[in-house]
Amino acid sequence: MSGRHSAAERFPFLEGELSVGGVRVSRLAERVGQTPFYAYDRQLLSARVQQLRGVLPAAISLHYAIKANPMPALVGWMAALVDGLDVASGAELRVALDAGMDPREISFAGPGKSEVELAQAVASGILLNIESAREVRLLADISSRLGTPARVAVRVNPDYELKSSGMKMGGGPKQFGIDAERVPEVLADIGREGLAFEGFHIFSGSQNLRAEAICEAQTKGLELATRLAAEAPSTVISVNLGGGFGIPYFPGEKPLDLAAIGDHLEGVAESAASSLPGTKLVIELGRFLVGEAGVYVARVIDRKVSRGEVFLVTDGGLHHHLSASGNFGQVIRKNYPVEIGTRGMDAPREVASVVGPLCTPLDLLADRMQLAEAGPGDLVVVFQSGAYGITASPMRFLSHPAALEVLV
């Protein structure tokens, strides 16, 4: 075992340096004009979508959930590859519209949508995933004010959970969606208020690496939607079955068995064709589409040895990359895959910790990892960083400079 994560294969060494999209990382740092930065590789994004299309039945629409990475240039690139975009705020909605996605293929989910956000959504003609009775009431007013009925789907909090998810977002008491047993009332309200009902949204969790668990949630999601369709004010046009596809971050984690999910979805699409004829099925993925296509790059400022342990102190840290520090939803801190990008594959290796410049022991990007021996000026590369990076981090904490983002 080399100890290198499979992520390293996507960013091969060229002339003794790790590369991103064919550009050596030190050259890329010059091009960006500063460290730290995030770099996302367009070809890897395209390849991932292509890989998925290869196993997904043609009947399944593929949406990108842009909260995973809302960088406008990246969303613009993804918009040309996927069938739709899912947004979670009014600001994300603007990014999705600017990216050129057809509003008919944009949907908006999330609890606590403001009146302004609801109006933005109606004015732009996107689909709203309703999360409460309050939203129905507000949308009735907004629809009559704007003279156009809101397009709505009901986000359902299912009466089951997605097993083995990194984050559970459905089942039991939740702030997301409307409890399945209360959906019939809300459907009646939607009909009474004359909103344009289109279907259901059932998202039960995130970061799942077990194909069987994801398949089970898809089967149950379709069953639930079929049951609820009987109460709907009009034909069900679309059912969003969620996503939850995970990526391997830590030692021992295996990539998702995509072929198994593709096969399963064939069956799901067939049963939908008879139980809900004419209904479009959608899956919405965030990190699975973009997470593996990005790296975070920081420069070593200082090399310290404390009581026999090596610390590489960098200009980047948890303020840019909270997830890699282990403080974004992880229960036990584990190392993201990390390499020294400016030392060749054959460089001597040592055990070192990579830390940031913040005055907290939480500011740890690598805890006692096998890395190439490095010192000031070297570039540290954190893999699996294309999702939940910059926008999921407390960038202003300690007032250090912001990280930049580039698409290569």
List residues near ligand PLP by CB under 6 A: 65, 67-68, 86, 109, 203, 206-207, 243, 284-288, 387
Task: Give min distance, CB of 287 to ligand PLP, in A.
Answer: 4
Place of tokens 């055990």: 351
Question: Residue 77 or residue 288: which is nearer to ligand PLP going by CB?
Answer: 288
In angstroms, rounded to a whole number, what is the distance separating the alpha carbons of residues 288 and 317? 23
Question: Residue 109 or residue 379: which is nearer to ligand PLP going by CB?
Answer: 109
| H helix or E strand, kind and range, residue 128 | strand 127-130
Task: Give min distance, CB of 289 to ligand PLP, in A.
Answer: 8
In angstroms, rounded to a whole number, what is the distance separating the alpha carbons of residues 312 and 323? 19
Q: Which two tokens stand for residue 355?
A: 């830390």
In angstroms, rounded to a whole number, what is the distance separating the alpha carbons of residues 56 and 83? 13
Task: Give min distance, CB of 204 to ligand PLP, in A.
Answer: 10
Task: Give min distance, CB of 82 to ligand PLP, in A.
Answer: 13
Got the DSSP string for 296-354? EEEEEEEEEEETTEEEEEES--TTT-HHHHT-SS-SS--PPPEEETTS-TTS-EEEEEE
Question: Residue 25 or residue 82: which is nearer to ligand PLP going by CB?
Answer: 82
Task: Give min distance, CB of 266 to ligand PLP, in A.
Answer: 21
In angstroms, rounded to a whole number, what is the distance separating the alpha carbons of residues 23 and 210? 34
In angstroms, rounded to a whole number, what is the distance separating the alpha carbons of residues 124 and 104? 9
Task: Give min distance, CB of 242 to ligand PLP, in A.
Answer: 6
Question: Residue 280 or residue 299: which is nearer to ligand PLP going by CB?
Answer: 280
The 3-state DSSP class for residue 276 equals coil
- 8 Å CB contact between 241 and 281: yes
Question: Residue 18 or residue 183: which is nearer to ligand PLP going by CB?
Answer: 183
Question: Residue 18 or residue 178: which is nearer to ligand PLP going by CB?
Answer: 178
Question: Residue 246 or residue 341: which is nearer to ligand PLP going by CB?
Answer: 246
Task: Give min distance, CB of 190 to ligand PLP, in A.
Answer: 20
- Integer Rg of the chain from CA: 23
Among all residues, whose Cβ is closest to ligand PLP? 286
- 8 Å CB contact between 20 and 39: yes
Q: Which DSSP state fits 376?
A: T
Question: Residue 284 or residue 405: which is nearer to ligand PLP going by CB?
Answer: 284
How long is the chain? 408
Task: Evaluate the CA torsion angle 133, 136, 137, 138 in order and state its sign.
Answer: positive
| H helix or E strand, kind and range, residue 58 | none
Task: Give min distance, CB of 69 to ligand PLP, in A.
Answer: 9
- 8 Å CB contact between 177 and 131: yes
